[in-house]
Amino acid sequence: MKLPGSRSGHERLVRACLTYLTTVLRLPTWRLNQRPVLTTKGWRNPGADAGCPDLIALLPGIALAVECKSGGGTLSADQREARGRWEAAGHWWITVRNAKDDLEPVADHMKEMRRPGGPLAQSPVALLITRR
C-alpha cells in the first residue's frame, strides 16, 4: 500500500508542531497518534477513533485539533467528518503542512490574548483575585 507523504516526514512534522505548541506558544498539548499500525484500511492508531487528529492543544476557552499532513496527503473521509463535528462544537481544526507557517494564526491569537489589557495579560492568580 503506497501512502501519500512519508511516515518519517509525518513524524518530523508532528514533532515540529508539538514543539511549537508547547515551547513557543506554551500551550498544554497532547499527542494522540503514538503508535500507528498499517492495516488493510491504511494507517490506524490503536485506541484512537477513526479521524482523530494528531494533536490536541488547549487555548483559553477553546480546543485546537491539529492534523499534520506531509507530502500531498489530504484529509480522509473520517478526518473530514471529525473536523465537521469539532468545528460544529465551536472549536478549531487546523490541517498543518508547515508547523511555523500554518500555526501562525494560533500564535497571533495568543499574542492578542496576552497583550496588555488582554484576558491573559495578568497571571491566573491575579485574574482570580480581581474577579472576587
Structural domain contains residue 1: no
Structural domain contains residue 47: yes
How does residue 92 score in pLDDT terms, banded at 50, 70 and 90?
very high
We report the CATH number of the domain holding residue 16 as: 3.40.1350.10
Domain interval for residue 34:
7-131
Say which residue, 48 or 5, is predicted with more confidence. 48
Mean pLDDT computed over 45-71: 87
Structural domain contains residue 77: yes
Structural domain contains residue 23: yes
C-alpha pair distances (Å), 131 with each of 32, 62, 73, 118: 35, 21, 47, 15
pLDDT at 38 (0 to 100)? 79
Over the stretch 6-30, which tens digit does the pLDDT of each residue have? 568 888 999 999 999 999 899 999 9
Residue 82 pLDDT more than 90?
yes
**Overall domain count for the chain:** 1
Structural domain contains residue 2: no
User: What pTM was estimated for this model as a whole?
Assistant: 0.76
